[in-house]
Amino acid sequence: MEDAFGLSSEFVGLRNFTDVLEDPEYVSTVLFTLFFSVMVTLFSLSLALLLAVQVNEVLTGAGVYKTFLMWAYAIAPPAAGLVGSLLFSPLMGDLYNGINALGFDFNHTRDGSDAIFVVVLISVWKQLSINFIFFLSGLQGIPASVQEAARIDCPGSIKRFWTVTFPLLAPTTFFLLVINTTYAFFETFGVIDLTTRGGPAGSTTTLVYKIYQDGFLGADLGGSAAQSVILMLFVICLTIIQFRYVDKKVHY
């Protein structure tokens, strides 16, 4: 344990770690982070894939579609967060008013699940473009001869997609899975900081955001450093799992 000014420090063994792990709040932060990562990865991958497949079959005006779908790639997470916070402002947000006009009792400043919806939505929107670009290039990399053979053997377009196209896209999908998980864990910080600040009641606090709150706002260096180590181990394990189990299913 060290005071923030580095004037005195004391060796306390694993106390920083036990303090963190015994904290019920920390456990709920871990659970939220996992849930959040799964949601963001799942939705941004599936939506991007859907869009890429659709665009790939468009013949007229494909360039326009592509440009618009890639546009959001240039947006930094904090900018996305700012746009989101304005759209969902309880005083003047168009989306906020729109959802309430549809008859939902929506208030992300009070209701945890509404807040989670907001941060997931913005994070997915921000990540959609990059996934779209990769999927589209993956689709265009499938040889025309394979496509034609599949078309003859399998007339149903949906079945054809799942039996031929999707397996051929597997390397791209796996790469994006790893990238998106990392994105959800780390880069969504900007989105969360500008929309919910981890609230209400800690319901949108990810592991990274908690490290920032404790260390950078609260000057508790020992606790914050312990959390960083835990987070690092966490991500290492996750990546190992992905490479060991998912990678086996991918044909290059």
Positions touching another protein (CB under 8 A) are: 1-8, 10, 12, 19, 23, 25, 89-91, 108-112, 196-197, 199-202, 213-214, 216-220, 222-223
- Name the CA radius of gyration of the chain, rounded: 22
Greatest Cα pair distance in the chain: 75
Minimum distance of another protein from residue 34's CB (angstroms): 20
Beta carbon nearer to another protein, 10 or 57? 10
Taking the complex as a whole, the smallest distance from the CB of residue 209 to another protein amounts, in Å, to: 11
Comparison of 23 and 187: residue with beta carbon closer to another protein: 23
- Do 113 and 64 form a contact (C-beta atoms < 8 A)? no
Other CB atoms closer than 10 Å to residue 124's CB: what's the count? 22
What's the CA gap between 124 and 105, in Å, rounded?
Answer: 23
Give the nearest distance from C-beta 160 to another protein in angstroms.
48
In whole angstroms, how close is the CB of 12 to another protein at the nearest point? 7
State how far the Cα of 167 lies from the Cα of 179, in Å rounded to an integer: 19
- One DSSP character per residue, 95-119 reads HHHHHHHTT----TTT-HHHHHHHH
Distance CA 242, CA 39 (A): 17
Give the integer Cα–Cα distance in Å for 95 and 87.
5
Cβ atoms of 108 and 117 within 8 Å: the answer is yes
Residue type, 173: T
Shortest distance, CB of residue 152 to another protein, whole angstroms?
A: 58
Which of residues 50 and 219 has its CB atom nearest to another protein in the complex?
A: 219
Nearer to another protein, 16 or 41 (CB): 16
Between 193 and 247, name the residue whose CB sits nearer to another protein.
Answer: 193
Smallest separation, CB 76 to another protein (Å): 17
Q: Closer to another protein by CB, 69 or 208: give it.
A: 208
Query: What number of H helices and E strands is found in the chain?
Result: 12, 0
